[in-house]
Amino acid sequence: MEYLRLIGIVIIVIGFVFKIDTIAVVLLAGLVTALVSGISIIEFLQLLGEAFVSNRLVTLFFLTLPMIGLTEKYGLRQQATKIIEDIKGLTPGRFLSLYMFIRELAGFFSIRIQGHTQFVRPLVEPMAQASAATKYNLESEKAKEKIKARSAAMENLGNFYAQNTFIAASGVLLITGTMESLGYEISAVDVAQASLPVALIALIMVLISNVWFDRSLKKKYGAAVELNSQREAK
């Protein structure tokens, strides 16, 4: 009978395979699991309501969308691009490495500056594109797409590998609570300390990757820029 409580997982898998409405599948799986576990429908609805209220802050990101639209309308991307164009010697790899460092540092202090919608698209990606345009005068759509993908990757890598370096992060608390429930004595500080070397290694690997990315851009597009400069000088 204990295995019968896992029927919710089977329902979710079947629902995803047949592409049934996700919310309906999850609710049905939760209801069936509650019934086979001896929880009444009233108790299930109470648990569902409490979970919704306690996690309502998750939907607050919708409030940022109008703000992002207004800032882009009034020239946020243009101003960010102009700042980068005025910095000599800045390459896409160097800029994205700097953002990776800032992203991990922000994660260490639990400063919420990240987000593809809120930060990468309106600021980071245009600034990376501007550094490439200034240095290499890129016109290749393929190269631009690579920079766009790499900009998004910096956010993903920085968030993934540095999110547990803050002792009060949700991931740290989840790990600590799970290990304590299994009988292991562990503190949030232990988890954060173990996460620091991982974040440092990830930063070093990203720096190396971005250096190679800059070299590939220079090899492919740098020669054309130097040739144009020589022609203009003559």
Tell me the pLDDT tens digit for each residue of 191-202: 999 999 999 999
Q: What is the pTM of this model?
A: 0.67
Residue 13 has pLDDT above 60, yes or no: yes
Residue 76 has pLDDT above 80, yes or no: no
Q: Check: CB of residue 125 under 8 Å from CB of residue 152.
A: yes
Residue 111 lies in a domain: yes
Lowest mean pLDDT among 68-77, 158-167, 200-209: 68-77
Give residue 225's Cα distance to chain centre.
Answer: 34
- pLDDT band at residue 49 under the 50/70/90 scheme: confident
Number of compact structural domains in the chain: 2
Residue 39 lies in a domain: yes
Give residue 186's Cα distance to chain centre.
Answer: 27
Q: Would you tell me the crossing angle of helices 125-136 and 188-217 to the nearest 10 degrees? A: 30
Q: What is the mean pLDDT of residues 140-147?
A: 89
Residues 28 and 85 in one domain: no
Q: What is the mean pLDDT of the chain?
A: 83
Question: What is the maximum alpha-carbon separation in the chain?
Answer: 86
Residue given tokens 């460092």 in the structure block: 101
Q: What is the mean pLDDT of residues 188-216?
A: 95
Range(s) of the domain holding residue 107: 61-225
Can you read off the two tokens belonging to residue 171? 């991931």
Q: Which of 14, 32, 54 is at the close of a domain?
A: 54
Lowest mean pLDDT among 24-28, 40-44, 96-100, 224-228: 224-228
Q: Check: CB of residue 171 under 8 Å from CB of residue 136.
A: no
Q: Which of 36, 54, 72 is at the close of a domain?
A: 54
Residues 102 and 37 in one domain: no
Residues 91 and 24 in one domain: no
